[in-house]
Structure 1
Amino acid sequence: MSDDRTHVQEFFTSRAATWDARFPHDGPAYAAAVAALGLRPGDRVLDAGCGTGRALPPLRAAVGASGAVLGVDVTPAMLRAAAEAGRGRDGLLLLTDVSALPLRDAALDAVFAAGLVSHLGDPARGLRELARVVRPGGTLALFHPVGRAALAARQGRRLAPDDLRAEPSLRPLLAGSGWRMTSYVDEDDRFLALATRGR
């Protein structure tokens, strides 16, 4: 297991049981971000780094009973918390690394990823893997329920100019990984970058 993966698991394992209670008001922001993906009934969607599965209910509502929802995470404790919250009813929960998904090429219509990019040991590799499993023209939403500046303030740090999620950093990272950024919003109450899978 890589050091990056071990670090991520340690970070989230210690927080899994109280994660939802710490952020009880994020539901509407998740629902709005899911709506921005433009999912249709019958679509196949992945919640990459699903954590406690807060996006799974709106994803299921968007794709309906005929659609497929898969939530993957590298931290067993987060998936247990998702199952205990009943979110396994909205999507299949799978323990796996986003950088090595057990899915065939072009299997999905869309990917939702909340807070994922900054936890990837190799962001370009992770984004390439997400591109591999999404059909050409499919969509990606990189989301966080607060913007970059608000998150930095919450964590007691300064916002670095070379931050991975800053638009001048993120746009070429996505482009080099098979995605074309179509919109970018970084406000106090949300971060949402949308991208389309190249053809």
Structure 2
Amino acid sequence: MADDHTHVLDFFTPRAAGWDSRFPDDGPAYAAAVGRLGLRPGDTVLDAGCGTGRALPALRAVVGPRGTVLGVDLTPAMLEAAGRAGRAEIGTLIRADVARLPLRGGSLDAVFGAGLISHLARPGADTAELARVVRPGGVLALFHPIGRAALAARHGRTLTGDDLRAEPRLRALLADSGWRLDSYTDEDDRFLALAVRRP
């Protein structure tokens, strides 16, 4: 585990304290993406790689007080920042690896993953683990508040077809791990792939 996750911890730990202030205007984009999950009051949802918990208020708003909102992240500093922001009162924060979730099979109605896919150590196995914990017909949302081209430009990279989030690659990855890609949006101001858990 340590080798797989050293780069994740090295990247996120020093950025945790200032993470929310770097992206102060993302709230509406998160809320819009969460709205596409089709959640109902009382549902159970996981924010996988929740970071500082920016999606948790939007998730709580749709599942209501009887619903269950879980936030899982590998980086202790991110979870501490989520707690300082009051998000531990919105959902249950758990330090765990998305590759080995401490959840029963089929126990979730949906998984939300913001910026998750590019940080998975083993994307095929990790998305299969997400499929394990979601009931058949449940939904996976892979979200980023900006699209692939804008993100590549922000990091000074050229967009290529072998990007894991390119539609053909993502469709194949998800199909191999128990999901069916249902919709795919890649625009300057939003990336959102929605997949349904196959029976």
TM range, smaller chain: over 0.9
Task: Determine if contact 1:4/1:120 at 8 Å carries over to the other structure.
Answer: no
Kindly state the Cα deviation for residue 160 of structure 1 after the two structures are TM-superposed: 1.8
The aligned residue for residue 88 of structure 2 is 88
The 3-state SS of whatever aligns with 2:141 is strand
Indicate whether 1:159 and 2:148 are aligned. no
CA distance in structure 1 between the partners assigned to 2:41 and 2:161 by the alignment = 40
Q: Which residue of 1 aligns with 2:72?
A: 72
Q: Which moved more, 1:2-11 or 1:140-149?
A: 2-11
- The answer for the alignment partner of 2:56 in structure 1 is 56
Whole-angstrom CA distance in 2 between matches of 1:149 and 1:3: 30
Q: Which runs of 5+ in 2 are unaligned?
A: none
Residue-by-residue CA offset, 1:24-73 (whole Å, 9 max, x unaligned): 00000000000000110000000000000000000001000110000000
Tell me, in whole angstroms, the C-alpha distance in 2 between the residues paired with 1:102 and 1:17: 26
Distance across 1 between alignment mates of 2:89 and 2:31: 17
Could you list the runs of 5+ residues in structure 1 that have no partner in the other structure?
A: none
In structure 2, the residue matched to 1:179 is 179
2:129 maps to what in 1? 129
1:2 Cα shift? 3.3
Alpha-carbon offset, residue 161 of structure 1: 1.5
Q: How many residues align?
A: 199
Q: Deviations over 1:56-115 (max 9, x none)?
A: 000001000110000000000000000000011110000000000010100000000001
Q: Deviations over 1:125-170 (max 9, x none)?
A: 1100000000000000000000000000011111122000000100
Residue of structure 2 equivalent to 1:118 = 118
Distance 1:160 1:3 in 2: 27
TM-score, normalization by structure 2: 0.99
Give SS of 1:194's match. strand
Secondary structure at the counterpart of residue 16 of structure 1? coil
The separation in 2 between residues aligned to 1:158 and 1:82, in whole angstroms, is: 33
**SS of the counterpart of 2:161?**
coil
> Take 1:166 and 1:102, find their aligned partners in 2: how far apart are those partners?
30
Q: How does 1:95-106 map to 2 (within 5 A)?
A: 95-106=95-106
Find the aligned partners of 1:20 and 1:192 in 2 and give their Cα distance. Answer: 20
CA distance in 1, matches of 2:159, 2:88: 36
Following TM superposition, the consecutive aligned residue runs of length 4 or more in structure 1 with deviations greater than 4 angstroms are none
Counterpart residue identity of residue 127, structure 2: L
What is the aligned partner in structure 1 of residue 148 from structure 2? 148
C-alpha RMSD of matched pairs (Å): 0.6
- Write the mapping of 1:16-35 to structure 2, written as runs, cut at 5 A: 16-35=16-35
AA at the equivalent of 1:174: L
Matched residue, 1:139: 139
SS in 2 for 1:110: strand
